[in-house]
Amino acid sequence: MSNAFLIKYGEIGIKGKNRHLFEDALVRQIKHALRPIEGAFQVTKEQGRIYIESLEECDQEEVTERLQCVFGIVGICPVEIREDQGFEQLARDVIEYLEANYGSKSLTFKVHTRRARKNYPMPSMEVNAALGERILEAFPNMKVDVHNPELMLNIEIRKMINIYSQTIPGPGGMPVGTSGKGMLLLSGGIDSPVAGYMIAKRGVKIDAVYFHAPPYTSERAKQKVIDLAKVIAKYAGPIYLKVVDFTAIQMYIYEKCPHDELTIIMRRYMMRIAEHFAEETGSLGLITGESIGQVASQTMHSLAATDDVCKFPVYRPLIGFDKIEIINISEKIGAYKTSILPYEDCCTIFVAKHPVTKPSLKVIRRSELKLQEQIDEMVKTAIETAETIVVEAE
Amino acid sequence: MQVYLDNSSTTKCSPAAQALMAQALCEGYGNPSSLHQKGVEGESYIKEARARICKTLKAKDTEIIFTSGGTESNNLAIIGSAMANKRSGMHLITTSIEHPAVDSPMKFLEEQGFSVTYLEVDQYGTISLEQLEASITPETILVSIMYVNNEIGAVEPIDQAAEIIKRKNPAALFHVDAIQAYGKYRIHPKKLGIDLMSVSGHKIHGPKGIGFLYIKEKTKLKPIIFGGGQQGGLRSGTENVPGIAGLGQAAMESYDRFDEKQERLYQLKEAFRNGLAQEPWAHFNGKAGRESAPHILSLTVEGVRSEVLLHALEDKQIYVSAGSACASHKPAPSRTLQAIGIKKEYLDSTIRISFCAENTLEEVDYCLSALKAVVPMLQRFTRH
């Protein structure tokens, strides 16, 4: 069993002069992801490759599972690392490796050698042919197939020699922390955690804000949001979650404004408050889980009315997704079961029976004038009394 | 002030029960089935508890089987008696306001080919004895009726029901879910004509995870859990010695100063009812006074969702129960409230207040003023 992993990364390999920044971030994220696992790991980067070596026995599956949550990783290869003691020894090592991993299975194979160390005495093609011959001798059941091999045996000749044949897909994307920070409007639903995941995948660090409306929403609803933040944190790292008490504002809007405009006006105030926190903590944009036409507040008219109050860009990674596509991602990232727990959030409590679907900016702005008297004070209080929770993955 | 008014959900464990449990856990750790001294010591806790329980029921010590709680007791009584007696008939009778721990086993038996009659109730949650009498056939093998309804505190006419059952079909068994009644009423099953009776520990200031089933001697029952043959083979599994010890202590205590405590509960309940008599938004479900259980009040608050009211009271450290757990996505209105025919718009606006004898009139006053302050505020915001 090998106790080392070779990490392949795609996109960040082409980042020119910034490349080392991306690689360093990836190394940092890998180290962070492995921290909860028992045992010590050494993470090193070398010529376009990152190696993880376990210094003690480790649970390979657990390591793989953790690494599959690290954005920027394209492939995870359990690798055998041997010292270069000449071709004869390499051939013996390869036979031993195949014996241990594949036994006497009859497979078609191909040897693929890469010579990063150009002073190795044999060229790659020769190594391929010579090793192929040895393998055919040792395993009469195996056959060569250079076009569609069942087993792709990779030999990389570097300072040491790497032998690997399996590539477990990583999540792709870019290492978190290489693309700035965004403020996610997180509710207890299905969409917003997925939106957070998708933006984090592009290397963005995530902060979040949740609007709490006691006694209309319960402690359990809040706990649910914290649990969802934990799911995102598994991929995005620790999340600073702001919990805003929104009840007073919500009720004030309810009393003063037409009820069919409630949701839109409420969302405009959520955006204002989220933007305030974004500015305060250095986020570069807001992130929401909206998708065109999903509900009344997500028609193009409604989104325009919401955006009207934002200076910051609003990122909506799910904008063109159908619900079922969103659910699929939610299940994949492990959020779905939590998202469907039946605790109400503030968005579902004060909903008009027939909310406006094509709000006019002019009308909405005019309705908001009715709030003039107290709203600024209320927003200020909501911001000042917000609770900050640091949410870490489990 | 912290006011716990959710005693029908669960109660605080009595200090003496806690102490006895700690002792049983630390010193009486022997397996009651072991032949050595340690086993005998463990067993002695069970014997003591059983004796204490039997005294409250005027029952024999062979008539008590310990279970993991009320749910298991109900399951064992219903499924166990149906399986043991199916050759005599495949018909069962129960009510439309039972707890899910009775209702779900009934549904399970329906899937197995039994037929079940669900008795209707009136606006106060009381069954009709005429309908009971008419429903009993020679095929009937079991009648299961709850003593006290857990949501509205309705008290069923158990003694008259028993008389009717034994007259119409002497072979039919009579099971009573007494989980909300034990400790609140003096119940002598033999005298009342009850064959099987379920009780739970944590509703009477005992621990969770323990309960018992009274099984009148010579009642035919099949086990639903199989294993090492403990408790006469009816309930395999090493006995939960600390739990049983705690249950025995709590059972004994609940019949200490019994009349005084019952009186007190009625006082608290009446004070609560009277305190809201002038409020147009307050409606109580079920009968008033001594005709319903001493500790349960079902209150409908017009125009306020029960869950919201629950959280608003929680904010003032008052703990009650929502009459029906109902979320916007998954409406599952209470069967009891539906069965008594309360208005549809009230289904989701009903809370349950349930007392224990340790509650005080000051606590009731505190809760009343909280309600009067909070309700008009919450009524301003209703769902469309």
CATH of the domain at A120: 3.30.2130.30
Lookup: tokens for A12: 């960040």
- Specify which residues B65 forms β-bridges with: B213
Tell me how many domains chain A contains: 2
DSSP of B173-220: EEEEE-TTTBTTB---HHHHT-SEEEEESGGGTS-SS-EEEEE-TT--
CA pair distance A314, B363, nearest whole angstrom: 50
From B318's Cα to the closest Cα of chain A, the distance in A is 13
What's the burial of A61, exposed, middle or buried (CB within 10 Å: 0-12/13-18/19+)?
Answer: exposed
**For position A348, what pLDDT does the model report?**
62
Contact A342/B329, CB-based, under 8 Å? yes
What phi and psi values does residue A232 have, to the nearest 5 degrees? Answer: -65, -40
Q: What is the pLDDT of residue A308?
A: 94
CB–CB contact A215 B380 (8 Å): no
The alpha carbon of residue A351 is apart from the nearest alpha carbon of chain B, in Å, by: 7
Q: What is the mean pLDDT of residues A360-364?
A: 92
Is there a catalytic annotation at residue B26? no
- Is A44 in contact with A90 (CB distance < 8 Å)? no
CB nearest to A342's CB, from B308, B327, B378: B327
Helix H, strand E, coil C: the string for A152-213 is EEEEEECCCEEEECCCEECCCCECCCCCCEEEEECCCCCHHHHHHHHHHHECCEEEEEEEEC
Please report which confidence band the pLDDT of residue A346 belongs to, taking 50, 70 and 90 as the band edges.
Answer: low
Q: What is the mean pLDDT of residues B89-97?
A: 97
Q: Are residues A125 and A241 located together in one domain of the fold? A: no
First-to-last C-alpha distance (Å) of chain A: 28
Q: CA-CA distance, A213 to A208, in Å (whole number)?
A: 17
Q: Do A215 and B329 touch (CB under 8 A)?
A: no
Q: Would you call A214 and B315 a contact, using CB atoms and an 8 Å cutoff?
A: yes
Q: How many residues does chain B have?
A: 384
Average pLDDT value for residue range A364-373: 94
Q: Tell whether the model's pLDDT for residue B326 goes beyond 60.
A: no
- Looking at CA atoms only, how far is residue B307 from chain A in angstroms? 8
The more confident residue out of B220 and A20 is B220
Strands B211-215 and B64-67: antiparallel
Mean pLDDT lowest for which of B135-149, B197-211, B322-336? B322-336
Taking a C-beta distance cutoff of 8 angstroms, is the pair B112, B256 a contact?
A: no
How many Å lie between the alpha carbon of B357 and the closest alpha carbon of chain A? 29
Which residues, 6 or more positions from B208, have their beta carbon under 8 angstroms from its beta carbon?
B10, B69, B201, B202
Return the bridge partners of A100, or none: none
Q: Is A334 left (phi over 0), alpha (psi -120 to 50) or beta?
A: left
Residue A233 near residue A298, CB atoms below 8 Å = no
Q: Which of B315, B330, B383 sits opposite A215 (nearest CB)?
A: B315
Q: Do A164 and A187 sit in the same domain of this protein?
A: no
Lowest-confidence segment of A3-7, B145-149, B219-223, B246-250 by average pLDDT = A3-7
Confidence band, pLDDT 50/70/90 cuts, at residue A35: confident
Say whether both A17 and A96 belong to one domain. yes
What is the model's pLDDT at position A295?
85
Nearest chain A Cα to B326, which residue?
A342
B327 touches chain A (CB under 8 A): yes
Q: How far is CA A125 from CA A112, A131, A145, B19, B300, in A?
A: 8, 10, 15, 80, 84
Kindly identify which residue of chain A lies nearest to residue B375, measuring between CA atoms: A215
DSSP code, position B44? H
Closest chain A CA to residue B309: A215
Comparing A143-157, A206-220, A342-356, B69-83, the range with the smallest average pLDDT is: A342-356
Quick check: B330 pLDDT over 60? no
DSSP, collapsed to helix, strand or coil, labels residue A62 as helix
CB A265 within 8 A of CB A364: yes
Under 8 Å between Cβ of B97 and B119: no
Catalytic residue among B13, B326, B356, B367: B326
Residue A175 domain-assigned?
A: no
pTM exceeds 0.80 for this model: yes
Q: pLDDT grade, residue A159 (50/70/90)? A: confident
Tell me: do A67 and A149 sit in the same domain. yes
Instruction: Identify the pLDDT of residue A215.
Output: 87
B327: pLDDT strictly greater than 50: no
Q: Which fold has domain B258-379?
A: Aspartate Aminotransferase, domain 1 (3.90.1150)
Calculate how close chain A gets to B308, using CA atoms only, in Å: 5
Structure tokens at A279: 């500015």
For residues A332 and A263, membership in a common domain is answered with: yes
Is A353 in Cβ contact with B384 (below 8 Å)?
Answer: yes
| Least CB–CB distance from B312: residue in A215, A255, A353 | A215
C-alpha to C-alpha distance for A228 and A210, rounded to whole angstroms? 11
Chain A 342-361, residues with CB within 8 Å of chain B CB atoms: 342-344, 348-353
pLDDT for residue A19:
82
Residue B308 to residue A215, Cβ atoms within 8 A: yes
- What residues of B are in contact with residue A353 (Cβ under 8 Å)? 384
The answer to whether B79 touches B73, Cβ cutoff 8 Å, is no
> What pLDDT does A14 receive?
65
The Cα–Cα gap between A219 and B352 comes to 20
In chain B, which residue ranges form alpha helices assigned H by DSSP?
15-26, 37-57, 70-85, 100-111, 129-135, 158-168, 189-192, 241-254, 258-275, 306-315, 335-339, 361-379
Task: With a cut of 80, say whether residue B87 has pLDDT above it.
Answer: yes
* CB-CB under 8 Å, B327 with A214: no
The span from the CA of A360 to the CA of A368, in Å, is 12
Q: Pick from B305, B310, B311, B375 the residue to mutate for testing the A interface (most A CBs within 10 Å).
A: B311
Last residue of a domain, which of A169, A202, A228? A169
Radius of gyration of chain A (CA): 27
Residue A345 has what pLDDT? 67
Q: Is A223 on the interface with B (CB under 8 A)?
A: no
Rounded (5°) CA angle A215-B358-B1: 40
| φ and ψ of B175, to 5 deg | -105, 135
By CB atoms closer than 10 A (0-12, 13-18, 19+), residue B139 is middle
**d(C-alpha A378, C-alpha A390), whole Å:** 25
pLDDT at A105: 82
Mean pLDDT of A244-271: 93
Q: How far off is chain B from A12, nearest CA to CA, in Å?
A: 43
The encoded tokens of residue A155 equal 């030999």
Q: Is residue A23 part of a domain?
A: yes
Give me the mean pLDDT over the B295-317 stretch. 93
> Distance between CA atoms of A225 and A192, rounded to whole angstroms?
10
- C-beta atoms of B314 and A215 within 8 A: yes
The C-alpha of A89 sits at a distance from chain B's nearest C-alpha, in angstroms, of 60
The neighbour count for residue A149, using CB atoms within 10 Å, is: 18
Do A231 and A361 lie in one domain? The reply is yes
* CATH architecture, range B15-254: 3-Layer(aba) Sandwich (3.40)
Say yes or no: A218 contacts chain B, CB-CB below 8 A: yes
Residue that the structure tokens 């500790």 belong to = B295
Q: Which of A104, A54, A55, A95 is nearest to A78 (CA)?
A: A54
pLDDT at B382: 66
Do B15-254 and B258-379 share a fold?
Answer: no
Residues of B in contact with A256 (CB under 8 A): none
Only one residue has tokens 């006019």, namely: A360
Paired tokens of A20: 């080392």
**A94, A203: one domain:** no
Residue B374 pLDDT greater than 90, yes or no: yes
- Domain of A113 in residue numbering reads as 4-169
- How far apart are the C-alpha atoms of A249 and A270, rounded to whole Å? 10
Q: Which residues of B161-196 are buried (b: 16+ CB within 10 A; e: fewer)?
A: bbebbeebbeebbbbbbbbbbbbbbebebeebbbbb
Read off the CATH number of the domain in which A186 is found.
Answer: 3.40.50.620
Distance CA B110, CA B259 (A): 42
DSSP assignment of A317-329: TTTT--HHHHHHH
Indicate the DSSP class of residue B1. Answer: -
Is A285's pLDDT higher than 80?
Answer: yes
Would you say the C-alpha torsion A364, A370, A372, A375 has a positive or negative sign?
negative
CB within 8 Å: B384 and A259? yes
Q: Is A10 in the same domain as A36?
A: yes
Whether B145 and B156 have beta carbons less than 8 Å apart is answered as yes
Mean pLDDT over each residue of chain A, to the nearest integer: 91
B310 touches chain A (CB under 8 A): yes
In a domain, A174, yes or no: no
Token output for B85: 């007696």
Return the residue matching tokens 């939106």. Answer: A195
Residue A158: Cβ-neighbour burial (10 angstroms; 0-12, 13-18, 19+) = middle
In a domain, residue A154? The reply is: yes
pLDDT tens readout for residues A43-94: 998 877 899 998 887 788 889 999 999 999 999 999 998 999 989 999 999 9
pLDDT value at A2 more than 60:
no
CB-based contacts of B280: which residues, under 8 Å, 6+ apart? B302
For the cut 70, the answer to whether the pLDDT of residue A299 exceeds it is yes
Q: Does A107 touch chain B (CB under 8 A)?
A: no
Give the CA radius of gyration of chain B.
21
Tell whether A74 and A139 lie within a shared domain: yes
Average pLDDT for residues B180-200, to the nearest whole number? 97
Tell me which residue of A261, A258, A252 sits closest to A371, measured CA to CA.
A252
- Rounded-to-integer distance, Cα A382 and Cα A167, Å: 50
**B residues 289..308 contacting A (CB < 8 A):** 307-308
Distance CA B51, CA B64 (A): 10
pLDDT band at B383 (very low <50, low <70, confident <90, very high): low
Of the partner residues A218, A350, A353, the one whose CB lies closest to the CB of residue B307: A218
Secondary structure of residue B330 in the 3-state scheme: coil
Q: d(Cα B162, Cα B194) in Å, to the nearest integer?
A: 7
Q: Lowest-confidence range among B174-178, B369-373, B378-382?
A: B378-382
* Contact yes or no for B311 and A216 at CB 8 A: yes
pLDDT reported for residue A1: 44
Closest CB to B308 among A216, A254, A343: A216
Q: Is residue A176 part of a domain?
A: no
Q: Mean pLDDT over residues B98-104, rounded?
A: 96
Residues A91 and A111 in one domain: yes
- Domain end marker among A138, A169, A200: A169
Percentage of residues in chain A having pLDDT higher than 90: 68
Q: Where are the domains of chain B?
A: 15-254, 258-379
Q: What is the pLDDT of residue A201?
A: 96
Asked if the model's pLDDT at residue A267 lies above 50, the reply is yes
Are A266 and A148 contained in the same domain? no
Across residues B309-316, what is the average pLDDT? 93
**pLDDT computed for residue A349 by the predictor:** 63
Instruction: Tell me, yes or no, whether A330 and A369 share the same domain.
Output: yes
Judged by a CB distance cut-off of 8 A, whether residue B332 touches chain A is no
Q: Residue B384: its pLDDT value, please? A: 44
